[in-house]
Structure 1
Amino acid sequence: MGGGQNFPSREASKEKEIVLCTLPWPEERAKKGIEELKKEFKNVDVHYFHSKYENGKVAAIDVPEDVMKRASYLATLFWLPPSPSCIPNVKVIQFFSAGTNHVAKHPIYTDSKIPLCSANGVHGPQIAEWVIMMDLVQSHNYVNLWELQKKKEWKQGAGMQVSDRVGKRVGILGYGSIGRQVARVAKAMGMDVIAYTASPRNTPESKKDRGYIVPGTGDPDGIFPSAWYSGTRKEDVHEFLKQEIDLLVVAVPLTEVTTHFLSTDEFELLHKSKSRRAGTYVANIARGQCIDQEALITALEKGQISGAALDVTDCEPLPADDPLWNAPNVLITPHVSGSSDVYADRAFQVLIENIKREKSGGTLVNEVNRKRGY
């Protein structure tokens, strides 16, 4: 209306919130997620740092102290500042990994109350494909056929002993987001699915998936398993393993309870339950320590199981002289089953959802229970 000094509006003068990203991709690879984040929240600035994990070690990155102190949200895979005091204003830490066991001894985990959230749910499609791929490689004798191709040999007999998947049973040890997508694909192939969880799932409500779900995937209502087993006692796990399982998928989080979840007794039990048929094929996409590696090698050598597909080992990288490399009927990949060209995009969706919920006072997606370890 004329005259007087022009003052900035209260909104315009408000300092933007910082979303600090320390992620293992060049910023260009995360461009789509960053754009969606800025589109959803007009009052945020994204400070992006490319972190690297090389040969089992986190490479140092230089995050300015003032950025850490001003940050409201932290998105990371494995990098954390030295202590909670470095990030006094962070409201949520969003990990871009399925688990947080790799930081379980960090002061931010043990000594702070900053909510920690995982990216559980973003890995389901690609890891389920890896599991099914490995199972088919085994059941269709593809390794032998590939070796023949390299030698330019045409031997039909090498490919005749095929075991198709219809009517076979997949036992999913840890029926989370990954296990639920394995179940969806397995059911489409005509397989029977049985599930194991630590706590009981006795009601339709308790069987629902409350985490992040890639649209059109998984088992949101928990309807695929023909039977559901639960309990943390050894007897409870053994009851599940007795069910003549053709494909056993290890998908539990790594905790004190699940360390060496499968060992000598468990492999012997699997063998006994499948003694009249081809043995159980074991696929581990959890953590290497969930399986007693020495016991696994023995089980492979004795033929107690038909084989193993391992995307994780104890330790990583697996040393060149480790006997696991030469164990019979084993396929090993270097912890890559979760890789996907849309991984970052999906993980940013979880981050965006959790910022929304933090701002509205809602329940966070995939918040880690520090006592349980997941």
Structure 2
Amino acid sequence: MARIGTVHCYGRFAIDAVSGAEAVLGDREVVTCPTPESFLAELHRVEAVLGLGMRVPDWSAAPRLRLIHLVGSGADSIVPAHGLPPDVQVAGARGLSAPAMAEFALAMLLALAKRLPEVLASQRARVWERHRPVILSGTTLLVAGAGPVGREVARRAGALGMTVIGVRGHPEPVPEFDETHPAARFAELAARADAIVLAVPATPRTRHLLDGAVLDRCRPSCLIVNVSRGEVVDEHALAERLRAGSIGGAALDVFEKEPLPEDSPLWDAPGAILTPHVAWSSPGYSRKVVELFARNLERVERGEPVAHPIDLTRGY
């Protein structure tokens, strides 16, 4: 098939990722589009695009398009992709950030178990107060999602001596988990968990997966970590239960609206740790994304399926 001579980079992350790594793309022309308007103005000649959050009203306005490559793992940033021809391949960076996200999730679990929010509050207030930590060894962790992140979380939690239960869309067992169950059992299994890590894509099925009804089934000591998407958690319901003391603590790296609005009840919810969507970040991630993009460009040129494909009908 014809060579892709021009590639477009949409958004600041993609532009920064390619900057300094142009050699990875060979002699292809690189066109940077920092704004939605600049990208839409280029649609008529786009062959392949690297970016995130490309909200295009009608992809049929890109007749030369052959590859959409996301810098992240979820398709929620471009769905619905109206007018996208079926022969256009869509790829993502699924799995590239899994080790970093798993480490982050375990760090947050440990921080909650060792009562770091309370410890730091006492330190700032110059109050000598002993907050009683809990031990994770021997407890049960429920992981929603058995993809690359969920499996990496399970490995690390198992090393801490936790029993790890996974729920996923397919019933087949996953070796990293002590138990694997269908996603439909999430609410039931939440009642068994001492801790819950959310590592699922944002789809209609996972919206408010952790809602008030599920939270009310959780143990009062249950610890919650979300490194997936903000839409997976009913934030107001969680904030209410943190204030009521019916949940042991929560660490959230993602939110329904980012940046988190100043009036969000989560900001001052007791036992909460809030981070600005950084769990995925690690040294070298940008270059890995560009290298994957380059490999997939070559696959498309050879008429082969891309690595790390995304199914827009499933959302991941």
- Asked if Structure 1 and Structure 2 have the same fold, meaning a TM-score greater than 0.5 normalized by the shorter chain, the answer is yes
* In structure 2, distance between residues paired with 1:64 and 1:296: 39
1:147 corresponds to 2:121 = yes
Distance 2:267 2:140 in 1: 27
CA distance in 1 between counterparts of 2:291 and 2:59 reads 25
- Which residue of structure 1 aligns with residue 171 of structure 2? 200
- Name 2:111's counterpart in structure 1: 137
Counterpart amino acid of 1:338? W
Decide whether the 8 Å contact of 2:9 with 2:15 is kept in 1: no
Deviations 1:74-106 (A, max 9, x none): 111223555324432221110112212122134
Summarize deviations over 1:171-212 as a string: whole Å, max 9, x none.
11011111122122222323222211111114xxxxxxxxxx
SS in 2 for 1:305: coil
**Contact 1:250–1:284 (CA<8 Å) still a contact in 2?**
yes
**When the two structures are superposed, what TM-score results if normalisation uses the length of structure 1?**
0.75
Which protein, 1 or 2, shows the higher relative CO under an 8 Å CA cutoff with sep ≥ 6?
A: 2
User: Which residue number corresponds to residue 76 of structure 1?
Assistant: 51
RMSD between aligned residues: 2.7
Partners of 1:113 and 1:361 in 2: how far apart? 11
Residue 337 of structure 1: how far off its partner (Å): 1.9
Bigger radius of gyration among the two: 1
- In the alignment, the residues of structure 2 paired with residue 93 and residue 19 of structure 1 have an alpha-carbon distance, to the nearest angstrom, of 10
State the match for 1:162 in structure 2: 133
- Choose the corresponding residue for 2:266, options 301, 311, 324: 324
- 1:237-278: CA deviation from partner (whole Å, max 9, x where unpaired): 233323x2222111111111111111122112222xxxxxx6
Deviation at 1:69, TM superposition (A): 4.0
Query: Structure 1 residues 50, 184: CA separation in 2 closer, same or farther (over 3 Å shift)?
Result: farther
Deviations 1:5-42 (A, max 9, x none): xxxxxxxxx9862122224248565345432232xxxx
> Which runs of 5 or more structure 2 residues have no equivalent in the other structure?
none
2:288 corresponds to 1:350: no
**Residues 69 and 91 of structure 2 are in contact (CA less than 8 Å); yes or no, is this contact kept in structure 1?**
yes
* Residues 1:60 and 1:372: Cα distance change in structure 2 (over 3 Å): closer
Please give the TM-score of this superposition, normalised by the length of structure 2.
0.87
Question: What secondary structure is seen at the aligned counterpart in 1 of 2:305?
Answer: coil
Out of 91, 98, 119, the position equivalent to 2:93 is 119
Q: Counterpart of 1:147 in structure 2: which amino acid? A: A
Identity %: 26
> In structure 1, what residue type is equivalent to 2:188?
E
For the residues of structure 2 that align with 1:366 and 1:337, how far apart are their CA atoms? 20
Report if the CA contact (8 A) 2:8-2:33 is conserved. Answer: no
In the superposition, relative to structure 1, how do residues 32 and 177 fare at CA in structure 2: closer, same or farther (>3 Å)?
farther
Greater CA drift, 16-25 or 323-332: 16-25
Q: Is the 8 A contact 1:123 1:343 kept in 2?
A: yes
**Per-residue CA distance 1:268-313 (angstroms, 9 max, x = gap):** 2222xxxxxx621111112222122222123223333211111122
Whether 1:62 and 2:49 are equivalent positions in the alignment is no
Q: Residue 98 of structure 1 corresponds to which residue in structure 2? A: 73
The CA distance in 2 between the partners of 1:71 and 1:60, in whole Å, is 14
